[in-house]
Amino acid sequence: MSRLQKIPVVEEKKGNPLARVFDDLVRFCRSRSLFILHYCTGCGAIELPPAMTSRFDMERLGIQPMVSPRQADILLITGYVSIKTLKRVILTYEQMGSPKYVVGICSCTVNGGMYWQSYATAKKLDEYMPVDLYIAGCMPRPEAVISGLQKLMDRINSGEADSWQDYYRNYDYYLGNQQKLFGEDWQTPTDIITEAKHYELMGEGTLGQHTRLLEQHQKPLEALEMRLGHNIKEPVE
């Protein structure tokens, strides 16, 4: 009986075999080419330069740093996020192109770490955005960071790392937690609900009481006015 239980259940693959091969290829390439956006919030950032440069060299795994959220695949949160920072982290996360992954480095992102009693930090990162991987430690060494990223690569390759879909499926939950911190009129420039419809990722948790609250407060977005420096109003003395 015990041996019978161990027999793996293989899901029967359906669809066009050529498309399946193609999907596998894209997944493999996704896992072998990861552009990271390191949002260096806390002290954990100090372990990233050695992980990237000659001592540990992340580029041999195909991981390289990028500078703008549009280009990146991984959002790397390295340490405690204060409430002010968290707003920016969420804006950054929503601008990244999916599939996107969030990696929380340091214990502070897991449960607040030594900032547990602080009134100014957000404790658990995964209440505000879906996190694919935590690397615990105060702070984790570069080896740990790299082995964590390798684990993420395996999960991407096998198709398990799809928590970016969770943000669309359970948007109400994440928005609720965000509203709790930032107030009821919290609004980001990205329209997540329309995006969820576009990707056909509407889940049961996409809409709810918090998104209704958002609709009440939502202001239409306007493009920023383009101005040259000398047009900016001087402060009145």
Partner 1 sequence: MAPIELLIELTLMPLIAFIVGMMMVLMMRRIAARIQRRIGPPFFQPLYDIIKLHGKRTQVSHGLIHDIGIVMAMGGYIAAETLLPVPGMNGIAEKGGLITLLYLMMIPSLGLALGVGQCANPNGSIGIARALTAMLAYDIPLVIVIFGVAYAAGTTNLVEIIATQQAGGFATWGVVEMPLLAIAGLIAMHASLGKQPFEIYIAPAEIATGPMVEMSGKYLGGLFVMQCFQLYTTSVLYVSLFLGGGTTWFDFLIKSFLVLAIPVSIAYLFPRYRTEDLLRLMWKWPVMLGLIGLAFVM
> What is the distance between the alpha carbons of residues 118 and 120, in angstroms, rounded to a whole number?
5
Which tokens belong to 219?
């202001």
Which tokens belong to 187?
């609004």
Q: Give the residue from 42, 39, 40, 38 showing the smallest Cα distance to 115.
A: 42
C-beta of residue 112 within 8 angstroms of C-beta of residue 121: yes
Q: Which does 106 bind (CB under 5 to 8 A by kind): partner 1, ligand SF4, none?
A: ligand SF4
> What is the distance between the alpha carbons of residues 61 and 150, in angstroms, rounded to a whole number?
8
Between 200 and 237, CB nearer to partner 1: 200
Q: Is the peptide bond before 139 cis (omega within 30 degrees of 0)?
A: yes
Q: Which does 114 bind (CB under 5 to 8 A by kind): ligand SF4, partner 1, none?
A: ligand SF4
Within residues 62-81, the interface with ligand SF4 by CB under 6 A covers 79-80
Report in angstroms how near the CB of residue 54 gets to partner 1 at its nearest.
4
Give the DSSP H or E segment for 103: strand 101-105
Between 73 and 166, CB nearer to partner 1: 73
Between 33 and 111, CB nearer to ligand SF4: 111
Within residues 193-232, the interface with ligand SF4 by CB under 6 A covers none
Return the C-alpha torsion angle 157, 158, 159, 163, nearest 10: -90
Which tokens belong to 16?
């066009």
Q: Which residue in 25, 26, 91, 138 binds ligand SF4 (CB under 6 A)?
A: 138
Q: Which does 113 bind (CB under 5 to 8 A by kind): ligand SF4, partner 1, none?
A: ligand SF4
> What is the distance between the alpha carbons of residues 227 and 90, in angstroms, rounded to a whole number?
27
Q: Which does 60 bind (CB under 5 to 8 A by kind): partner 1, ligand SF4, none?
A: partner 1
Q: Which residue in 89, 103, 139, 192 binds ligand SF4 (CB under 6 A)?
A: 139
**Chain contacts with partner 1 (rule: CB under 8 A):** 25-26, 28-30, 32-33, 53-54, 57, 59-60, 62, 66-68, 70-71, 73, 96-99, 199, 223, 226
Cβ count near 55 (within 10 Å): 9
- Give the interface with ligand SF4 as residue ranges (CB under 6 A): 42-44, 79-80, 106-108, 113-114, 138-139
